[in-house]
Amino acid sequence: MHKFKSLTLIAALITGAVAATPIQAAEPVKGGTLVIGMTQKPRHLNPAVQSGTATAVPGTQVFATPLRFDENWRPQPYLAKSWSVADDGLSITLILRKNARFHDGKPITSEDVAFSIQTVKDNHPFKTMFSPVEKVDTPDANTAVIHFSRAHPAALLAMSSALLPILPKHVYGDGQDPKSHPANNNPVGSGPFKIVEFKPGEHVILERNPDYFIQDRPYLDRVIIKHYKDSNSLALAVDKGEVDMYPFVTNTRNIARLKKNANLEVTNQGYAAVGPVNWLAFNTKHEILNDKRVRQAITYAIDKNFIIKALHGGFSQRASGPVVPGSPFHAPGVEQYDLDLERANSLLDEAGHVRKDDDMRFKLRIDYLPGVAEQQKAIAEYLKPQLKKVGIEVEVRVAPDFPTWSSRVSSHDFDMSMDIVFNWGDPVIGVHRTYLCDNIRKGVIWSNTQSYCNPDVDGILAKAGVEPDAEKRAALYRDAQAIIVEEAPIAFINTLPYHTAYSKKIGNAPTSIWGTMAPLDEVYKTQ
């Protein structure tokens, strides 16, 4: 009995000791430098006129936005200490913090908010974010009232992360084109960090903003974003401890390698909003692919399980529809198209494509986005032997570079193409564009290049875009996705295996829906 007691005592001591360590570490430490490594290189640092992760990571440190989002998709106060949406959804009132100042000491007013919304509306590639904005009233210096021509529930998300940086009107309002404004390389914002040096292609050095509007934040003294020429050399630098944090790791062999390092944490949290879907797009105007049975057959013939488990080492996730899992608008109930070669064969027979003497039915060409080989090239090459099983001969067409591929796909000169398209938080921003009839625009990549058109889907998406009630909105998106998945203009395959690898010295690693594309004011580093 005695022995047992002492054992439990020891056990308690051990658990106590173990439990004590994280509690100690959870006490944020001030000071220190966070080194972030990235392979995507920004051309400039103004996210108001430029989309993409390269500008967004430094951009969200320099510029503050009216709102920020937590990991459960709930809006939180940021520059706006409070906000209210009118009952009819036609206006949003923002009440700004009184103490907020730009890095040059000038106060932030509602004028700057109105100016920034106009600038983003006029210049940002995501037109749908603020196109319903009619005007922004500024009754006083701390109140901005945004009026919409129709209800626009996506607006709250469009006021977070890198999507609505509040620009200083006294800098950007000088009449110069904001896309080529000299301040884009040395921007004045109001975020937790201010710019020290930006060397394109090499690094962005940021230092603590001592007058940040949130008291006692940020914890870090410096953030250095270093740019690497490829993912392998960056992974090596992380392994050696030269880099504290590597966001957007996509190569699954690197993920596996970094996971083995005892000094690192590797997580797939922080990518819910960016929502990257890897898919096989069909040209629905193609003489064979215009039959939905053929598209369904191909979708049934793809072994999604093999791709995720064998090709991606289990690090990517199944994407079965337009909206990624992890988004409140995800539709889990759609047809999953589990591998079914028999069904694929009978659908093709039904469509009138019988096997000829050589056992083949017809021939299709496949293009792929050059870049992440594991996601695009590998799957294109996998489809060659896989679709042969159902009598489809696949010819892989290589594009030597991005412009070649994008001009083929955007001019609709393709049969099938492997592609990655991002949700960007709200379906209005990143999902509608792929399916609306009036977004079949030749020459525009990532528009409706599939030439898919269903007026019913258009109607549901239009309703969903203006539905203020979140539950009803989600239901509308589920309906639209069920139709889209059934008609299969796209074979949805997987989400990119985005991971963040970071040193165990880092506390409060960014895991909100925007991950590192959000202010890192809570992140700290122990020595």
Partner 1 sequence: MADTSNLHGNDLPGAEHPIAEAWRMFRRNYAAMFGLLLLSVLVVVTLIGPLVYNVDPFEIVWAPLTPPGEEATAPLGTDYLGRDILAGLIHGGIATLAVGLAAALITVTIGLTVGALAGFYLGVVDDILMRFTEFFQVLPALMFAMVLVTLFSSSLVVVAIAIGVVSWPPTARLARAEFLRIRNLEYVAAARSVGAKNRRIIWRVILPNALPPLIVSATLTIGTAILFEAGLSFLGLSDPNTYSWGYMIGSGRDNILDAWWAVTLPGGMIFITVLAVSLIGDGLNDAFNPKLRER
Contact footprint for partner 1 (CB under 8 A): 253, 306, 310-311, 373-374, 378, 380-382, 384-386, 388, 395-398, 400
Please, what is the minimum distance in Å from the beta carbon of residue 282 to partner 1? 20
Report the run of H or E that residue 9 belongs to, with start and end.
helix 2-25
- Which sign does the torsion angle of CA 311, 313, 314, 316 carry? negative
Taking the complex as a whole, the smallest distance from the CB of residue 355 to partner 1 amounts, in Å, to 17
Residue (111 or 381) nearer to partner 1, CB: 381
**What distance in Å separates the CA atoms of residue 341 and residue 366, rounded to the nearest whole number?**
20
Residue 187 or 497: the one with the smaller Cβ distance to partner 1 is 497
Q: Are strands 392-397 and 362-368 parallel, antiparallel or unpaired?
A: parallel
Comparison of 134 and 395: residue with beta carbon closer to partner 1: 395
> Torsions phi, psi of 64, nearest 5?
-95, 155
**Residue 309: how many other CB atoms lie within 10 Å:** 13
Which positions ≥6 away from 524 have C-beta within 8 Å?
Answer: 28, 29, 30, 32, 219, 220, 506, 507, 508
Shortest distance, CB of residue 274 to partner 1, whole angstroms? 24
Shortest Å, Cβ 303 to partner 1? 9
Cβ of residue 373: shortest distance to partner 1, in angstroms? Answer: 5
| Overall residue count recorded for the chain in this entry | 527
Nearest approach, Cβ of 392 to partner 1 (angstroms)? Answer: 13
What is the rounded distance in angstroms from the CA atom of residue 55 to the CA atom of residue 71?
Answer: 22
Task: Return the number of the residue (299 or 386) whose C-beta is nearest partner 1.
Answer: 386
Least distance to partner 1, CB of residue 232, Å: 9
Q: Which is nearer to partner 1, 236 or 444 (CB)?
A: 236
Q: Which is nearer to partner 1, 147 or 397 (CB)?
A: 397
The whole-angstrom separation of Cα 99 and Cα 461 is 40
The reply to whether omega before 77 is within 30° of 0 (cis) is no
Q: Would you say 375 or 450 has its CB closer to partner 1?
A: 375
Q: Compute the distance between CA of residue 465 and CA of residue 476 in angstroms, rounded to an integer.
A: 9
HSE-CB of 78 using CA atoms within 13 angstroms: 29
Smallest separation, CB 283 to partner 1 (Å): 19
Alpha carbon separation from 449 to 104, 144, 197, 364, 444 (Å, rounded): 45, 38, 40, 17, 8
Nearer to partner 1, 364 or 485 (CB): 364
